[in-house]
């Protein structure tokens, strides 16, 4: 396999794995957070405004790790510097 193929295969496989693992962790974390928030809401319904707000802030913080993985996958697929370099080299030859 020449270097072009290796770069392409590595980028594609890594992009898939990144998205896969990147969605796994945050989903588990967010499920736990929502479950705990629901328990707290059931125990103290009059604090629902604070609980809901804190829940959303916490969910956004957890979600951002998933977003980081998504951004890396997008970069690997659409703005891959190694691929662009190899393509430029082949076009120049």
Q: Which residues would be at the binding site for other proteins (CB under 8 A)? A: 50, 53, 56-57, 60, 63-64, 67-68, 70-71, 74, 78-79
Least distance (Å) between residue 10 CB and other proteins: 20
- Residue (6 or 60) nearer to other proteins, CB: 60
CA distance linking residue 51 with residue 54, whole number of Å: 5
- Residue (40 or 74) nearer to other proteins, CB: 74
82 Cβ contact partners less than 8 Å away, ≥ 6 residues apart = 7, 11
For 2, list phi and psi in degrees, rounded to 5. -85, 175
| CB contact at 8 A, 82 and 10 | no
Least distance (Å) between residue 6 CB and other proteins: 24
């Amino acid at each position: 396999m020449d270097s072009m193929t290796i770069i392409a295969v590595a980028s594609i496989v890594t992009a898939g794995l990144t998205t896969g693992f990147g969605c796994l962790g945050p989903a588990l974390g967010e499920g736990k957070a929502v479950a705990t928030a629901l328990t707290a809401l059931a125990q103290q319904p009059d604090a629902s405004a604070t609980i809901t707000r804190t829940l959303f802030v916490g969910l956004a913080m957890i979600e951002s790790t998933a977003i980081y993985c998504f951004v890396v996958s997008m970069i690997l697929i659409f703005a891959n510097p190694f691929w662009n370099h190899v393509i430029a080299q082949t076009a120049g030859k």
